[in-house]
Amino acid sequence: MTDENSPTGPLADPAPEMSWFGWGDPTRAKTLDPALRDLIAQVLRTEPEERPAVAEDEVALPASRLDAGTRDALAGVVGAEHVRVDDAARLRHLGGKSTPDLLLRRSGAADPAPDAVVHPADHDEVERLLRVCSDARVAVVPFGGGTSVVGGVAPLSGGFPAVIALDLRRLDRLVSFDRVSATAVLGAGVRTPLAEALLGEHGYTLGHMPQSYEYATVGGYAATRSSGQASSGYGRFEDMVVSLRVATPRGTLELGGPPASAAGPDLRRLMLGSEGVLGVITEVGLRVRPRPETVLDEAWSFPDFATGAAALRELAQSDVRPTMARVLDESETFVGAALGGREAVPGCQAVLGFEGTGADVAARSAAVREVLTAAGGTPLGAEPVAHWRENRFSAPYLRDTLLASGFVAETLETAATWTDLLPLYEAVSEALTGALDGDEGGVVVMCHVSHTYPTGASLYFTVATAAGEAPLERWDRAKRAASDAIVAHRGTITHHHAVGTDHRPWMAAEIGPLGGDVLRAVKTALDPEGVLNPGKLIPDAS
């Protein structure tokens, strides 16, 4: 074991390079069982058809626009080998992993593309790179795991002559570990499995496990205000952050540290969720927890979604909470069972998890059972949760398979107060169905409550439909209808996927004209030339 207060290097092998036209490790691509293909075709009222991605060597990237002087200046900071303008590097930084992103890539569309991919090694190199780019008027798109599903890492130049992808993968160290304070500082480029390996050396865990777990980075979590499946127990990622180190074109911000402060507004909170638009997060100080000695899972059934949601509200507003709690609506319960080859339970299924000491888990699970039984729930044992966990990280691979078979699958999420939650659920479901169900095929809209709070909860929708002749336009129509419904029914435009380009048109409705002015003023103060991640987050001035 290393000394607890000294830096440690990477302990885990890096995950395989992400597929350039799909999700994750290309060797884990899924195939559809013939019976499942037939079921999907029947429900979506369209026959599968092969729609393979173009070959990588058929993708024509636009020529790099980075001039030789700027390229030399960047190389002077990080070394020439860390400034890449080859097609392979640029292709893998065309954007994130939304369904529109993947549809474009599968078709061979490669414009816009970054003019270079730059790999800094540490905070000082990031800061120097930002000064070079600000002086040269080159746009900078910070790039962590590349898992954004809202256009957050799209290489938009914002009217500047060139744009670089600032890949932070080399910022992959445990900077410090403090057992007494139960905190750790991690480089922004640390992916979650590596974070768990580094902290696990000391017997600790982050406890943050979103579906992007295998590829997403610590810096990306902070920049997007991520939330993981165990948020009921560990909190959202922003709740774990105790300090940030941020590079800007004008210098460095060192934010936070003490457990609490009344020294004016919390600038750390300003940078959480800033999506690389206000600065580049290079180090994240985090509260960490001892690894749990006991993990207990339980599934429950409820007669309907409203009853299941009400049961989770009882838990969220009580003193007894599971570490993980989510309830699936009728459609998602049925589809989940069908995908697993199991018989669906009547009504809706909930999955719960408990982590901690043996005594703590036993006490909390017993108290939760009393609440859920009184709320109309029926226990189903641990097996359904084991199946859910087993397939948790494979769903994006299934989406790739559906895209290759002439279907479209995508997700969107929101949150609202408990009072507004079910009306919002109905409105968004109706908006998606109305936009997609028609002559081109049917649609399945699924939803679950995935994160709960005393005052409200999130709703996470999954949509599957026929691709049709123009799948991009088809999904854009549905996403706009759903977003309009969210705003009209007092939901947030995003609970944890962030704003990026996709949600930016609705930001003015969420934060108001004065809120937009505040964000623009902060950006001007930190990024006077406006080179940081242009076209994201901040709404246009009215």
Structure tokens at 292: 């749990």
Could you tell me the mean pLDDT of each successive run of 10 residues in the chain, 542 residues long? 35 71 89 86 92 95 97 98 98 97 97 98 98 98 98 98 98 98 98 97 97 96 97 97 98 97 97 98 98 97 98 96 97 89 87 97 97 97 92 90 95 98 98 97 97 98 96 97 98 98 98 97 98 98 84
CB atoms within 10 A of CB 87: 16
Question: In three state form, how does the secondary structure of 193-233 look?
Answer: HHHHHHHHCCCEECCCCCCCCCCCEHHHHHHHCCCCCCHHH
The set of residues, in sequence order, having a beta carbon less than 8 Å from that of 41 and lying 6+ positions away, is 47, 48
List domains and CATH numbers for the chain: 49-55+66-167 (3.30.43.10), 174-290 (3.30.465.10), 294-391 (3.30.70.3450), 395-488 (3.30.300.330)
**pLDDT for 4:** 37
**pLDDT for 365:** 97
What confidence tens digit (pLDDT) does each residue in 307-322 have? Answer: 999 999 999 999 889 9
* C-alpha to C-alpha distance for 518 and 129, rounded to whole angstroms: 26
**pLDDT for 379:** 97
**pLDDT for 1:** 29
DSSP character for 341?
T
298 closest CA partner among 388, 193, 400: 388
Q: Say if CB 66 and CB 115 are below 8 A apart.
A: yes
**pLDDT for 12:** 47
For 488-521, b/e burial (b = at least 16 CB within 10 A) is ebebbbbbbbbbbbbbbebbbebeeeeebeebee
**pLDDT for 416:** 98
**pLDDT for 14:** 60
CA–CA distances in Å: residue 110 to residues 19, 93, 115: 15, 10, 12
What confidence tens digit (pLDDT) does each residue in 179-188 have? Answer: 999 999 999 9
Q: List strands edge to edge, sheet with 139-143.
A: 83-84, 116-118, 163-167, 139-143
* C-alpha to C-alpha distance for 246 and 391, rounded to whole angstroms: 36
